[in-house]
A and B are shown apart, each in its own frame.
Chain A
Amino acid sequence: MPAPHQEHISALARLREVTWGLVLLIAVVAGIGFAMLYSAGGGKFDPWATRQMVRFGAGLAILFITATIDLRFWLRNAYIIYGAALLAVAAVEVIGMVSGGAQRWINLGVIRIQPSEVMKIALLLALARYFHKAAFEDVTKPARLIVPVILIGAPVLLVLKQPDLGTAALLGFGGTAILFAAGVKPWKFAAGGALALVALPVAWQFLHTYQRNRVLSFLDPQKDPLGSGYHSIQAEIALGSGGAWGKGFLQGTQSHLSFIPETQTDFVFAMLAEEFGLMGSLLLIGLYFAIILYGVFIAMRSRNQFGRLLAIGLTVNLFLYVFINIAMVTGMIPVVGVPLPLISYGGTAMLTLMFGFGLVISVYIHRDARIGRFDEET
């Protein structure tokens, strides 16, 4: 059952529908990111802040283009995108095997793409489509869960093998969130969780030594304070020494004297918390939560299941990024290598995030499109 009044609006009209509040929130967070990269560069725009700005610019373009594309396009092509992404992830694995080392990139000459980043959104698209097309009554049937579990499981296993614990966690939890939102019965998650717990010792066998060390050093960072636990301890010192108000912009001693590694990427939050204290941390978490609220609001406002699931999935995805990164930097979970969205330096992550936000806005623009279970075939 099409909704005629939304069928034929122009791209310009769609652009007018863009949720500017969300874009503004995104820009503010990215702005904080530029400031932190400026600080991480030792008070210079080079080498990180400038490039990140350029990437954000490109990301904004992607966001607007994605937002104005008809949502049904994504619904139609969800499986194709998923399949391509899965192939790319597998290809990376094969290339890595051939070249004799772990690899996460596909080099396209002009840009290098990290297929696992693209996979995060492709998986959400595929799952959203699957449950969009599933009859409400069917969702509760255990047999209907086989496909989504495979959809989630295949990339998770491939990524785990790379090995990339952070991405695997993001894919796994992000996919599970869509399952949950789609209405899968809670006890099934409990069962799945129990199963995972049983599988844990087996998984341990497949972990690389450095990953085992990370887990072990997380469990007891003081055991090897100069080895694998060093970064966690130094990050905690950085955070803690920030106090309530922080040491001031560019004044973080831990960050600027190289006690914390990777201040421009995964540990950027430690620097932010050191320089701006608890207040700065709260402000940033607040901004993220505002974006999440926006996302949930858009999901609930949507009149089609695909849009709802996609929006909630992307929102949870953002949340997972934030939570895993901060929990990792504050020493609550092992160091797994997840960037802080919109702030950490990194190209693919920025572009895929902006692509994701574009999809969320697209969901909002097409909020009133009543897309039926079989509508995309028209």
Chain B
Amino acid sequence: MHSDFERYKLFSRRATILLGGQALLLSGLIWRLYDLQISNGKRFKVLADENRISTRLLPPPRGLILDRHGVEVASNRQEFRAVILAERIADVGHTLDVLAEIIKFDKSERTRLLKELKRRRRFVPVAIRHSLTWEQVAQIEVNAPDLPGVRIEQGLSRLYSLGNATAHLLGYVAAVDETELTGDPLLQLPDFRIGKNGIERSYDLALRGWAGARQVEINAHGRVIRELSRKRSKPGNKVSLTIDAKLQKFAAERLEKKESGAAVVIDVHTGDILALVSSPGFDPSVFEQGIDRKLWRSLNKNPRAPLTNKAIAGQYAPGSTFKMIVALAALEAKIITPSHTFFCPGHKSMGKSKFHCWRRAGHGSVNLHRAIKESCDVYFYEVANKVGIDRIAAMARKMGLGGKLDLDIPGEKSGFIPTTAWKRKAFKQPWYPGENLVAGIGQGYVLATPLQLAVMAARIANGGIAVTPRLARDEITGREIKDRKAKRFPSIGISERSLAAVKKAMTAVVNEPGGTAYWLRIAEKGQGMAGKTGTSQVRRITKAERARGVLKNSQLPWAKRDHALFVCYAPYDAPRYAVAVIVEHGGGGSRNAGPVGKDIMVETLKLLPPVGMKKQADKPVKPKRRAAGAGKAAKRRGG
């Protein structure tokens, strides 16, 4: 009994120690809990929120692009797309089979989809097809019981109301390249589109808009459980262009009849581009969801270069349209007077070479007026020979050639105007006198873009004011859009007399019998047009060929035919618009580019009648914003 009592005493002591130990350890737990939940509670609360709350960006709708009258030329369209949710589907293969009957897709697309579905988490919707037709949407909805996990989602896609006609001008939108990432988180959204060319690219920031945000609760797998808050996105700014949508469409359709070419319509006082067309065009919407390789290859390989904006990036020998510059250079240098005559026997010999006039029989004795009106080559050989390339080049530069005009869309080329210094530097050769003759008729090294030719015509027409072209009506820097202040262009410093002589001759080209474009005259009073034709050779005519008889354009393959050019302005007594047209490998300028230029000019005058003819048609869209500029412009035109 004694030992049992001892045993009990020992047990009690030990049990108490054990209890104490347990209490101590439990206190340790409590201390730990206090540390976690009280001392660090706030920190962990933040961590828990970071865990569960995810901010998702809401892409803003892209800004609209409007023409000068407020007509939408680029807008956003509600688009329906079919998406597939793997987690709802037992047999993905079967679902795709059913779908394939509604929206046709081939094997490669099927394997791509299957791969994509495998890669993504099962609850992330994968887009099967964008831009579904109503019929397809209806069919998918009707077949919904057979298509579990297939859903129709709405989105926005870009809509270009003029399609091909504005493909080069407006550019297009497409997925963001890695090189385009700037840190703007919007750019990292998989469905976000960025402007890739044209206006879409140059004013991308203004059009882009401001992202909204959606806070969602997510679970550990990233699945969205519910939305906590939402901040709306702010759509991009509207960008108003100087373009007239109807004119743009007309010009594009008119050019479409030719194989390849470009046309530019410009307001000679303001520099507003009213139409800028390159043909053939392409469908700008094919880029939005990624262009398929076959189409891309065919666009790239097409000899008519549909992807090039020929109006600003096509560089052509200006041919006879260059003659005004040669004439002005000579008049200003006082080497000739308007009445000074040269004799044209049909050719000019220099050294061993013989330079031909387009009229083999010759023009006889020609003064400036006749030389321009009938486009006598020999006259300009003589003049160019006397003036020399450097003075011609200086005049060409004043007229906007030989350098970029900084039009507000990317891709502009600068053309080329040679000088003696350039020749020495580039070829380590002197400038040969014969080269003056070639340059005198706008051939040889001389290259100009249609935009430059339009600006040249404008600067002649407006009395030597250095207008520069523009496409945006407002001043846009980055995301900001401000009213453009009426711009006063400087004079290029050519005497009134010289200009008057050239302008009179250009009027004669169209309006006097014997003029190279007399057949294109506009009979309506006050709408008369002045112009100049040009035919620029793209091949060298050998002596042997000349002896045999020069081949006609129709006898040559397309790529060897002459380029047809035409520049004009109207009305000739109070100029308002200038047009430049090129038909690539079209043949003679008067015959092929001329009618296109005339039609476009007539349409311009009809759509936008100049002041005095009718009420001002290009009434500002937003009278308040534009009032100041318009007033000044009107005053200038009046004077």
Contact = CB atoms under 8 A, between A and B. Distances in A.
Interface stretch (A13-21, A61-69, A191-199, A323-331): A323-331
A364 B217 CA distance: 53
Contact of B32 (A237, A259, A305, A330): A330
Contact of A181 (B14, B23, B28, B220): B14
Query: Taking chain A's interface residues, is the majority helix, strand, or loop, or is none over half, making it mixed?
Result: helix
A254 B19 contact: no
Given A239-B44, A254-B51, A273 B18 contact: no
Contact of A241 (B30, B33, B47): B47
Nearest to B2: A136
Contact of A281 (B15, B28, B37, B42): B37
A312 interface: yes
Interface in B454-491: none
Contacts of B18: 177, 180-181, 296, 312, 316
Contacts of A242: 37, 41
Contacts of A181: 11, 14-15, 18
B38 interface: yes
A136 B9 CA distance: 11
Nearest to B48: A241
Nearest to B12: A300
Contacts of B219: 256-259
Interface in A234-249: 234, 236-244
A238 B51 CA distance: 10
A256 B19 CA distance: 36
Interface in B9-46: 10-12, 14-19, 22-23, 25-26, 28-30, 32-34, 36-38, 40-45
Interface string B42-62: 111101110110000000000
Contacts of B14: 180-183
Interface residues of A, number: 49
A183 B489 CA distance: 109
A243 B52 contact: no
A292 B19 contact: yes
Contacts of B43: 240
B353 interface: no
Contacts of A319: 22, 25-26
Question: Size band of the B side of the interface?
Answer: 35 or more
B26 A183 contact: no
Contact of A239 (B7, B12, B16, B37): B37
Nearest to A242: B37
B179 interface: no
Interface string A94-113: 00000000000000000000
B178 interface: no
Nearest to A260: B220
Given A180-B18, A237-B51, A244-B41, A332 B11 contact: no
Contact of B25 (A183, A257, A323): A323
A332 B31 CA distance: 11
Given A253-B52, A259-B51, A241 B45 contact: yes
B221 interface: yes
A327 B225 CA distance: 31
28 contacts: A183-B10, A234-B220, A237-B48, A240-B40, A253-B48, A253-B52, A257-B217, A258-B219, A259-B51, A273-B37, A277-B37, A278-B33, A278-B34, A281-B37, A282-B33, A285-B29, A289-B23, A296-B15, A300-B12, A305-B7, A308-B15, A312-B15, A316-B22, A319-B22, A323-B22, A327-B32, A330-B36, A332-B32
Given A136-B6, A259-B52, 12 more contacts: A136-B4, A239-B33, A240-B40, A240-B47, A241-B47, A253-B52, A258-B220, A278-B37, A289-B26, A293-B19, A299-B11, A300-B11
> What are the nearest 3 A-B pairs in CB distance?
A240-B44, A241-B48, A257-B219
